[in-house]
Amino acid sequence: MDPFEDEPSPVSIEYEPVSVKDVLVEMKDTAELLIDLSYSAVLHRNEDLAREVLRLERQMDVLEMRARMGLLMASRNPSDAEQLAPVLGIVAATGTISDAAGDIAKIVLEEMGLPEAMRAALPEAAGVLVRGVVDANSAYADRTLEDIDLESETGVRVIALRRGEEWLLNPGPTTTVAADDVAFLRGPDAAIEEVYETLTGTAYEVPTVETSDIDDLERAVDTIIHMKNLSELAIDLAYSSVLFDSEALAEEVRNLEVEVDAMQSRFEAWTLRAAADAHDPVSLRGLIRLGTSTEVISDAAIDLSEGVFRDIEVHPVVGMAVEESDEIITRIEVEPGSDLDGAGVDAGVPETEPTMSVIAIRRPEEGWLLIGDADAEINGGDVLIAKGTRTAAEAFGELSRGPE
């Protein structure tokens, strides 16, 4: 079977009045989902997930064209052009991310091959993300997510739904799960099997994993997983740097990009060494493609932040997108002797009030520490990347200041 045989021809797009703000928000959400699905498709070697990536990539192409049309119509004078130029850069960078995600998905569809060690890294890399079609007789069908209360009961979250060709990104409590919806679920290993079976009416097949006995290959896989995580963080920070016009966050994007570049160099060296000992060196082709695409995503984060680096005033259309949510990402420098110095972090949640979710810690001597489900202790001199409400962020910043 040809994995691309059901791929439709590009659709015709004509200009129609749209909210550029809404399109930008949808492009951001789509890019984040594309990254998530593409890596999960590779790690699970799941062709269904890979095809969903290509569907979503085509959707992004339409969004990108509509955004360009809207921005061109909005430019009436040199001042508008100056403010809108970085927004066009955001649109182009988001398209680059989409293309890179499509290239990652094609590793599976073109059967390029990946070492089995990639699957051994699956729990650390992306948790468990599965795709399932909602059965008409499912206990979840025709109920809202609030009514199902899936995340509270099981820890499994519905991260997106596809209804025909319509994508429901970031579904909320009032979103109804309908029969024949394609649902994308993320959650812990222990719960995902039961939820999947209840949703689809079929049993979930747990992937089998074998480890590699080639040390250089293990190092290469560990490196690519870390590159993936840093690139995802860079994209998140880049969007936030633009939305909140934050030079501090943009600078952290640059720091992450430098780190990913250094890791890419080590990754290539270990992959080439592993090829000498591999039974079938051609099976490493997919790993090389994955490394290249991951670096492309990291580089796109810099492009997203370009307007901030060049100190160009953010166009109001970008500011309007911020008002949709009170949640922000912030960068906090922890001063020695402050209330945060020595505070523990359990699964991203620090032992402080008010509560912010710590995403990552950058230590001057050690580099980046991605929190995830790990425990850590905050030290004076750390730079924290945290997510929470504006009110909590202000109070959290106060805790980071040392004694007068």
Tokens of 256: 């992450």
For residues 211-236, average pLDDT: 76
Q: Tell me the per-residue pLDDT of 137-185, one tens digit each, with 9 for 90 and over.
A: 999 999 999 999 888 888 888 999 999 989 998 888 899 999 999 999 9
Instruction: Please report, rounded to a whole number, the percentage of residues in the chain having pLDDT higher than 70.
Output: 83
Query: For residues 259 and 233, is the Cβ–Cβ distance under 8 A?
Result: no
Query: For residues 183 and 148, is the Cβ–Cβ distance under 8 A?
Result: no
Q: What confidence category does residue 126 fall into, taking pLDDT thresholds of 50, 70 and 90?
A: very low
Residue reference for tokens 């990539």: 57
Most confident of 135-139, 369-373, 378-382, 392-396: 135-139
Residue reference for tokens 């509509």: 66
User: At residue 211, does pLDDT exceed 60?
Assistant: no
Q: How many helices (H) and strands (E) does the chain have?
A: 14, 13
